[in-house]
Chain A
Amino acid sequence: MSATATRPSTDPATDPAATGTAAAEPRPSLLSSAVRSPAARKLAVLAVIAAVLIPLAHAKWASGSWPHALTVDVSGPLGDASDWILDNRDSHWIFLYFFGHISNVIIIGVRAVYVALLALGWAGVTAGLTLIAWRVAGVRIAVTTLVSFAICGLLGMWVPTMQTLALMAIAVTASVIIGGLLGLAGGLSEWAFRVLRPVLDTMQVLPAFAYLLPVVMIFGNGVPGAVLATVIYAAPPMARLTALGLRGADAGVLEAVTSLGATWRQRLLSARLPLARKELLLGINQTIMMALSMAVIASVIGGGGLGDRVYQALSSVDVGKALAAGLPIVLLAIVMDRTIGTAGERLGEPPAEGGHRLLRGWPAWAGAAAVTAVITVVGRLTGSQTWPTGWTVAIEEPVNQFKEWMVDHLYTGVPVVGGTADWAAHYVKWILDPLREGLQGLPWYAVLLIVAALAWLIGTWATALTATAAMAAIGVLGVWEPSMDTLSQVLAAVFVTLVLGFAIGIWAARSTRLERMMRPVLDMFQTMPQFVYLIPVVALFGVGRAPAAAAAIVYALPAVIRITTQGIRNVDPAALESARSLGATQGQQLRQVQLPLARPALLLAVNQGVVLVLAVVVIGGLVGSGALGYDVLFGLAQGDLATGLVAGTAIVCLGLMLDRVTQPTERRDRKGA
């Protein structure tokens, strides 16, 4: 999940010295600053370029939307390619000898894990995983695991949970291996690192949804495509963190190892990899979280399992059913996150003192295995392999009744604040519609100019060029209008997210109690896959653009709050103290010291907010948000890959543009460190 994914590299503990001067510097006169400031110079250059090019563009293609003459229709070739694949999938060598084997290995792997899980039975699986959690992460996590799996069974979701687990097991293994190898290359060779880094950075900001289409085109609907999309999505964090971990190894230690006469391989295995193990474990954790998030979204292309149940329920707006399938996903995420997180923290700590000898080391592992085996046998002797049919609790009815009640009481006609339907209607009418019309009405060159200006102000000419090129690519592909629609939804949702996020973040930074109260909530929200957010919002806001925005806001809020709080907390206490001694009020301290000093963190929060909101707005196509997300769904649904791929590419371009426009350059510099 990208919320956790981008966090470590962008730790908001920024260097206060870098920005400390901003507040202290006296204000020079307006004119002289305009000449000296690089921002003004950049804008001046842009203005000159614009003054030359815009009259030309306007004379030739005077239209608000992207001019038709500048588009390239790729639907013909794409359609042909798709037909060719369908016709040759069972005969051409590249499918028989290459893709066919990949697909076959995946199917055999997933099947093997699934058969093993079913053979262990519900009792065996629950006992085995609980014991593993106990061994690596302690009693508390073990209890969490036990309860979580019991709930999965009670909800009647045992078989789908096992299907998702099987798919996840293969996808995570593949991602860790591939990501690890790439990371190893990047960590050991400067050249490889330089090639890989921008690719991996970019892959992390792209919405999961965009990865689905290319794999469907080749592999068709089904588990192999789902696993591959998951691997493509989940491997980059592993690669990045492995590379960073290897490069960050303490030079002194390496020097010492070399002087002891270690060979290259010994150095790698005995010093560099062990030194990087925290990063490696963090990488595995992020890979698992992202894989889970993707495995669920991949139900749209026939991945099966829990995601499919959510998808089926969403298409009939059955909130109860969706919740019954969504809860196990959340529980799986929490269990895996906590288990690996705690295991990571324990690494490097000395082994716990005390406890019986048999509770430590290999005897404990052997004991765990033996207990699992016994429970498996007992479970198989006493009953069925899958969860016993009588032991389920049907939550669908009560949840749906509760939803009906909410809809009846909150939907409309609530005194003073209005119902959720009214909010949704107002949001669409007063924010989304004007914004969309504004963006679509804006001349296309103006949009390009704004993008270029923003990206250049915040970054270098290279970022500006990338952002503008990405935006122009959208126009060339002929999806300008729907992209502006999606962009308007993103901007509106980002605006709300930032207002709420900054407000709550600042408040939390001033009150330790509030922060402590919020921490578990934020943790939980950050581990939930994007898909799950769509369920409650449909109940509250109906279908359309408003529920997609609501889901996006809830999804992006935790990251924004967290980064804001940490940014403000990390402001140099000395600066604050001196402001206080000068008699500044609370508000003045906040406005004139804390916020300016926390500026890098706030910018980072904006960047994260934009990336996360885009990811959810796009899957909002499932709840009627239209625009690009809908086009991707339409492409998948109609087998019309031309439409889908074009929309998918536009999403990628939008993501790229939004990231560049909001990404401060200093973050890029720090990344490699």
Chain B
Amino acid sequence: MARTRMQLLMAAAGIAAVFTATGCGAADMTKQSSPYANVGGAKSVTLSVQSWVGAQANVAVAQYLLEHELGYRVDTVQVDEIPAWDALSQGRVDAILEDWGHPEQEQRYVKDKKLIVPGGGLGVTGHIGWWVPKYFADKHPDVLNWKNLNKYAKTFKTAESGGKGQLLDGSPSYVTNDKALVKNLKLNYQIVFSGSEAAQITQIKQFAKGKKPFLTYWYEPQWLFNQVPMAEVKLPKYTDKCANEGTKDPESVDCAYPTTPLQKYLNADFAKQGGKASAFLKKFHWTKEDQNEVSELIASKGMSAQDAAKEWVEAHPDVWKKWLP
């Protein structure tokens, strides 16, 4: 009997210990950071890396400077854009360095819940659109108006597009209205998702090698333009009215993509208590040329992100010295 009571006591003590450890009462999972953060006394910062190379360039340079100039340990986690907002609000990542505009998430996390604070502009302006290779546009200049796209549908046909013209799209995570655009503009096109940006680039390069025509969803700034010059197809003019309706009903969009000044966002607690790291990330600000320089080192010269960041940092102390707190 004594043994049983002893065991019961121990079990009760164990349960009590768990509850005390977890704070007994409420456990707010939006305030729980990554288990890998700040281990062993090292100050650490977790940055979200998106899958495109430009974003990798931002993170690479920020990581290099945080580690070598400010003495932090940097963890990077690959999260897609919208889950990254969620992770940022929960403090599982500390910062997003390049956001392409997510009004719904901004409303929820920045304005309503105040879990995320804006970290200022990145200094780069982004633009999404539809592009054709320059070699094709030079021969057929009228392709650059969307009204003529149906005329070229046959030209852009591939094995995967099933009789229609192919509009090459990228990673599933990117901001895109293409499905709505194709429908609302009554285009005879099939969207083919390549699954990742790398796959899309591989595909574009293969097309360019054979000087074949193609139509692709693409964006600026992007280093690939240096290797495969492309011309943008003009879509119906972007208006605020169209954009507002689009926020309400994404299927109604029938105009071009906006030009977005890219933004940084920080977790609210990190912004307050992040010390030098958060001050540094707030000041991080560079140009399209800078970003492309690093991106191209990574993507087309095959350098590791850290080596590319090192090369850029050594060449441009005038730019980054200003960011240090």
Contact surface of A with B, Cβ cutoff 8 Å = 86-87, 89-90, 95-97, 99-101, 103-105, 107-108, 110-111, 114-115, 118-119, 163, 166, 216, 219-224, 299, 301-302, 304, 308, 311-312, 314-318, 321, 385, 394, 396-397, 400, 428-429, 433, 542-544, 621-626, 630, 633-634, 636-639
Cα distance A366–B2 in the bound complex, in angstroms: 32
Cα distance A464–B231 in the bound complex, in angstroms: 56
List residues of chain B with CB within 8 A of the CB of A103. Answer: 27, 29, 32
List residues of chain A with CB within 8 A of the CB of B90. Answer: 220, 222
User: What is the distance, in angstroms, from B172's C-beta to the closest C-beta of chain A?
Assistant: 4
Closest residue of B by beta carbon distance from A309? B78
B29 A315 Cβ-Cβ under 8 A: no
List residues of chain A with CB within 8 A of the CB of B28. Answer: 90, 95-96, 100
Residue of B27, B33, B51, B76 near A315 (CB, 8 A) is B51
Q: Tell yes or no: B1 within 8 A of A by CB.
A: no
A86 B86 Cβ-Cβ under 8 A: yes
Cα distance A89–B34 in the bound complex, in angstroms: 17
Q: Tell yes or no: B195 within 8 A of A by CB.
A: yes
List residues of chain B with CB within 8 A of the CB of A317. Answer: 196, 198-199, 202
User: What is the distance, in angstroms, from A610's C-beta to the closest C-beta of chain B?
Assistant: 24
Closest residue of A by beta carbon distance from B307? A394
Closest residue of A by beta carbon distance from B172? A634
B36 A104 Cβ-Cβ under 8 A: no
User: What is the distance, in angstroms, from B13's C-beta to the closest C-beta of chain A?
Assistant: 16
List residues of chain A with CB within 8 A of the CB of B85. Answer: 639
Cα distance A639–B86 in the bound complex, in angstroms: 9
Cα distance A238–B35 in the bound complex, in angstroms: 27
Closest residue of A by beta carbon distance from B84? A221
A105 B22 Cβ-Cβ under 8 A: yes
List residues of chain A with CB within 8 A of the CB of B30. Answer: 89-90
A302 B39 Cβ-Cβ under 8 A: no
Q: Tell yes or no: B321 within 8 A of A by CB.
A: no
Q: Mark B51-85, 1 if CB is under 8 A from A, else 0.
A: 10100100000000000000000011111111111
B35 A110 Cβ-Cβ under 8 A: yes
User: What is the distance, in angstroms, from B166's C-beta to the closest C-beta of chain A?
Assistant: 13
User: What is the distance, in angstroms, from A108's C-beta to the closest C-beta of chain B?
Assistant: 6
User: What is the distance, in angstroms, from B75's C-beta to the closest C-beta of chain A?
Assistant: 8
Q: Which of B171-211 contact A (CB under 8 A)?
A: 171-173, 193-199, 202-203
Closest residue of A by beta carbon distance from B304? A396
A637 B80 Cβ-Cβ under 8 A: yes
Q: Mark B1-24, 1 if CB is under 8 A from A, else 0.
A: 000000000000000001001110
Q: Tell yes or no: B322 within 8 A of A by CB.
A: no
B83 A221 Cβ-Cβ under 8 A: yes
List residues of chain A with CB within 8 A of the CB of B198. Answer: 315-318, 543
- Return 25 A-B CB contacts under 8 Å, by A number: A96-B26, A97-B25, A97-B26, A100-B28, A104-B22, A105-B18, A105-B22, A108-B35, A220-B87, A221-B79, A221-B92, A222-B90, A222-B92, A304-B36, A311-B78, A543-B196, A543-B199, A622-B196, A633-B172, A634-B172, A636-B80, A637-B173, A638-B172, A639-B82, A639-B83
List residues of chain A with CB within 8 A of the CB of B160. Answer: 544
B86 A219 Cβ-Cβ under 8 A: no
Cα distance A542–B199 in the bound complex, in angstroms: 8
A101 B22 Cβ-Cβ under 8 A: yes
A638 B80 Cβ-Cβ under 8 A: yes
Cα distance A603–B302 in the bound complex, in angstroms: 48
Which secondary structure dominates where chain B touches chain A?
A: mixed
A96 B199 Cβ-Cβ under 8 A: no
Q: Tell yes or no: B255 within 8 A of A by CB.
A: no
Q: Tell yes or no: B316 within 8 A of A by CB.
A: no
List residues of chain A with CB within 8 A of the CB of B21. Answer: 105, 108
List residues of chain B with CB within 8 A of the CB of A394. Answer: 304
Closest residue of A by beta carbon distance from B298? A316
Q: Tell yes or no: B108 within 8 A of A by CB.
A: yes
Contacts A96-B28, A222-B87, A639-B86 known; list 6 others, CB within 8 Å.
A96-B25, A110-B35, A220-B83, A397-B302, A624-B195, A624-B199
Q: Tell yes or no: B268 within 8 A of A by CB.
A: no
Closest residue of B by beta carbon distance from A95? B29
Residue of A87, A224, A400 near B29 (CB, 8 A) is A224
B35 A315 Cβ-Cβ under 8 A: no
Q: Mark B135-151, 1 if CB is under 8 A from A, else 0.
A: 00000000000000000
A104 B29 Cβ-Cβ under 8 A: yes
Q: Which of B38-59 contact A (CB under 8 A)?
A: 39-40, 49, 51, 53, 56
B195 A638 Cβ-Cβ under 8 A: no
Q: Tell yes or no: B241 within 8 A of A by CB.
A: no
Cα distance A544–B85 in the bound complex, in angstroms: 29
Residue of A100, A316, A433 near B26 (CB, 8 A) is A100
Residue of A115, A224, A543, A623 near B39 (CB, 8 A) is A115
Cα distance A312–B83 in the bound complex, in angstroms: 15
Closest residue of B by beta carbon distance from A400? B302
Cα distance A166–B36 in the bound complex, in angstroms: 10
Q: Tell yes or no: B237 within 8 A of A by CB.
A: no
Q: Tell yes or no: B315 within 8 A of A by CB.
A: no
Cα distance A637–B78 in the bound complex, in angstroms: 11
Cα distance A316–B160 in the bound complex, in angstroms: 22
Q: Contacts A108-B21, A315-B197 known; A90 to B83 CB distance under 8 Å?
A: no
User: What is the distance, in angstroms, from A402's C-beta to the closest C-beta of chain B?
Assistant: 13
User: What is the distance, in angstroms, from B265's C-beta to the closest C-beta of chain A?
Assistant: 15
Closest residue of B by beta carbon distance from A111? B35
